[in-house]
Amino acid sequence: MDIYLLEAVINGLLLGGVLALLALGLNLIFGVIDVVWIAYADLVMCGMYAVYWLHVAGWPLWAASLAAIAGVAVLGVLVHVLIIAPVLRAPPINQLLATGGLLFFLQSFTTLLFGTDFRNIGVRLPIIEMGDIFISFARLLAFGFALVGAVALYVFLKRTYLGVAIRAISQDREIMGLMGVDQRRIYLVTSLIGGALAGLGGCLLVLQYDVHPFLGNTFGPLIFMICVLGGLGNMIGGFVASFIISQIISIGGYYYSTEWAYVLAFTLFIVLMFIRPRGILAR
Partner 1 sequence: MLSLAAVSAGYGSFRALFDVSLDVEAGEAVGVIGPNGAGKTTMMRVISGLVPMDAGAMTFDGRSLDGLSAHRIVERGIAHVPENRRLFPRLTVEDNLRIGAFIPQARAKIAERMAWVYDLFPRLKERREQLAGTLSGGEQQMCAIGRALMSGPKLLLMDEPSAGLAPLVVQQVFDLVRRIRAEGLTVLIVEQNVQQVLEVVDRAYLLEVGRIHLAGSSAELKNNDLIRRSYMGL
- Residue numbers of the site for partner 1 (CB under 8 A)? 161, 164-165, 167-168, 171-172, 174-175, 177-182
Shortest spacing between CB 167 and partner 1, in angstroms:
6
Nearer to partner 1, 156 or 266 (CB): 156
Q: Which one, 151 or 175, has the nearer CB to partner 1?
A: 175
User: Least distance (Å) from partner 1 to the CB of residue 157?
Assistant: 10
Closer to partner 1 by Cβ: residue 8 or 181: 181
Select 199 or 237, whichever has its Cβ closest to partner 1: 237
- Calpha distance 117→56 (Å, rounded): 15
Least Å distance, CB 31 to partner 1, is: 11
Least distance in Å: CB of 176 to partner 1?
Answer: 8
